[in-house]
A and B are shown apart, each in its own frame.
Chain A
């Protein structure tokens, strides 16, 4: 079965711009979570969507937002990009529970 697909794989943006990242979960998975990975910081939880509703939110500024569509695909948006937003953004989908997480390969965002 197809895995979790994230697009694009790589992205370079300029400070102040905004960016949208996409995640297509495994078919049948209704929960999509987003994480930010930076060197030495591990994975930091951004938010989780379930059936088009944000169910959980991490400790990130309001510049980070997301949404989920009726087909469970999810997008996350970062506005007014800062250099510190450069990171690998990972999405994970599951049927239920974080036990069943499957991660995508991530989108590498570089802000210059």
Chain B
């Protein structure tokens, strides 16, 4: 049972345009969500996060939107740059005493064309 899903395995965007990466989840107990970016042969690096009590968080070119009623979040990258080409993972976590654990989606490969 996949609690976090990224339904688009890949996305191709022209440089300068907006990239929108989507993520759906099923567990309403998640308290926070994160986006990670991964280049080949490297570990994932943290990009941006959002708490479940917010609906938007912005950091430079990156904005994450959360729609709790739809159990959906999205990452917007504006403007997209060729260096943004990577695999993007969304992840969800809970604030409890059970320790650290994130549930990840399957990833979306973003290709930004010059």
Contacts and interface: CB of A to CB of B under 8 A. Distances in A.
Interface stretch (A12-20, A67-75, A78-86, A95-103): A95-103
Given A4-B43, A90-B43, A101 B102 contact: yes
A56 to B, nearest CB: 4
Contacts of B9: 40
Interface in B3-40: 4, 6, 9, 32, 34, 36
A32 B29 CA distance: 23
8 contacts: A33-B101, A40-B106, A43-B89, A90-B44, A98-B91, A98-B93, A102-B46, A105-B43
Contacts, number: 70
B99 interface: yes
Given A4-B43, A43-B44, A90-B44, A48 B104 contact: no
Interface of A: 4, 31, 33, 35, 40-45, 48, 50, 55-56, 58, 90, 92, 94, 96-99, 101-106
Given A40-B9, A42-B107, A103 B100 contact: no
Contact of B98 (A4, A40, A44, A56): A56
B42 A105 contact: yes
B44 A55 contact: no
Contacts of B41: 105
Contacts of A98: 34, 91, 93, 100-102
A94 B93 CA distance: 14
A34 to B, nearest CB: 11
Contacts of A99: 32, 34, 49, 93
B103 interface: yes
B104 A55 contact: no
A41 B45 CA distance: 18
Q: Which 9 A-B pairs have the closest CB atoms?
A: A103-B43, A55-B99, A43-B104, A42-B104, A56-B99, A42-B106, A98-B100, A98-B93, A98-B102
Identify the interface centre among A4, A96, A103: most chain B CB within 10 Å of its CB.
A103
